[in-house]
């Protein structure tokens, strides 16, 4: 089983409008609400692939009730840790005219020390093949919170800033920053150099999201670049979570890096074509998997 952890759960609200224009009144073509947060999205992708996955997340207030109801309706295996604060909402506005995506992320409610310890207890009771910790730490969470959850487990960490740097003490098997997050964390523009700095600090491997450019993987076994066969237009908000789902699945199956990266890029593209974060176009995923190019440095074999 793969277990995902989402300390800063959200109710994702997505509006589709004809065109997003500043200082104007908009009428939504469509409004959709579903449980979200990065770890929940990862679990949703794995569930779509018929992988045994369990989501652990926080929930509070009326919004937390809505999150619980939607997770149940979606058929996701989940346990929600109660908190006193109101679960946050994230708002996505999709512009139909140009395909642009605008996100507004609330910071989330303050989590007390007792609530964080309860979350940690729920996580430590599980013995997954792979543990995934994703997203921002909510206000009030200890800076070393992820490190304590990850310690001694095969794990994937997907976060940024101080939470990423502190989480390296838990020695995650893989961390997955995007290029901007990696530069911010290390101060280096050279992404391979920056990735190796994270590895020296505790990461087993670093997989960097390059947006439409695919992925860069820096690992003890070698360095690879994985690129999609072509550009896609759609909603990219869940693409990184699909990459994390592929990394966790590959680790659980002990697959070689080129195979993991091909799946990750194909799933990422399938997520761009999905209407909401956590959705994947399975037909695209199965069609594109072997068309992803994975290239190693000259001295490595792919």
Hey, which residues are catalytic here? 241
Residue 90 host element (H or E): strand 88-95
Cα distance between residue 239 and residue 245, in whole Å? 10
Which value, to the nearest 10 degrees, does the dihedral of the CA atoms of residues 260, 263, 261, 34 take? -100
Q: Which residues, at least 6 apart from 5, have a Cβ–Cβ distance to it below 8 Å? A: 39, 56, 57, 119, 123, 131, 132, 133, 134, 149
Cα distance between residue 83 and residue 4, in whole Å? 18
Cα distance between residue 152 and residue 148, in whole Å? 9
Q: How far is CA 108 from CA 8, 70, 258, in A?
A: 6, 19, 37
């Amino acid at each position: 089983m793969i277990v995902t952890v989402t300390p800063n759960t959200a109710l994702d609200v997505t509006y589709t409008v004809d065109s997003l224009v500043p200082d104007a009144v908009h009428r939504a073509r469509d409004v959709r609400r579903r449980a979200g947060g990065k770890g929940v999205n990862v679990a949703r992708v794995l569930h779509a692939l018929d992988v045994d996955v369990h989501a652990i997340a926080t929930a509070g207030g009326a919004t937390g009730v809505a999150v619980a109801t939607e997770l149940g309706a979606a058929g996701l295996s989940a346990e929600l840790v109660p908190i006193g604060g109101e679960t946050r909402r994230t708002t996505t506005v999709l512009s139909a005219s140009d395909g642009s995506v605008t996100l507004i992320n609330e910071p989330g409610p303050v989590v007390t020390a007792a609530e964080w310890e309860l979350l940690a207890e729920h996580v430590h009771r599980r013995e997954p093949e792979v543990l995934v910790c994703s997203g921002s730490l909510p206000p009030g969470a200890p800076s070393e919170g992820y490190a304590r959850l990850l310690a001694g487990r095969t794990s994937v960490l997907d976060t940024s800033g101080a939470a990423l740097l502190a989480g390296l003490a838990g020695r995650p098997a893989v961390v997955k920053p995007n290029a901007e997050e990696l530069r911010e964390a290390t101060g280096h523009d050279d992404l391979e150099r920056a990735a190796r700095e994270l590895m020296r600090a505790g990461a087993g491997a670093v997989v960097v999201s390059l947006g439409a450019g695919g992925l860069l993987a820096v690992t003890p076994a070698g360095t690879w670049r994985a690129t999609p066969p072509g550009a896609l237009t759609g909603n990219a908000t869940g693409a990184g979570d699909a990459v994390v789902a592929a990394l966790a699945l590959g680790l659980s199956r002990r697959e070689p890096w080129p195979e993991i990266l091909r799946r990750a890029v194909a799933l990422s593209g399938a997520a761009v074509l999905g209407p909401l974060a956590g959705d994947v176009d399975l037909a695209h995923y199965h069609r594109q998997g072997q068309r992803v190019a994975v290239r190693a440095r000259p001295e490595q074999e792919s």
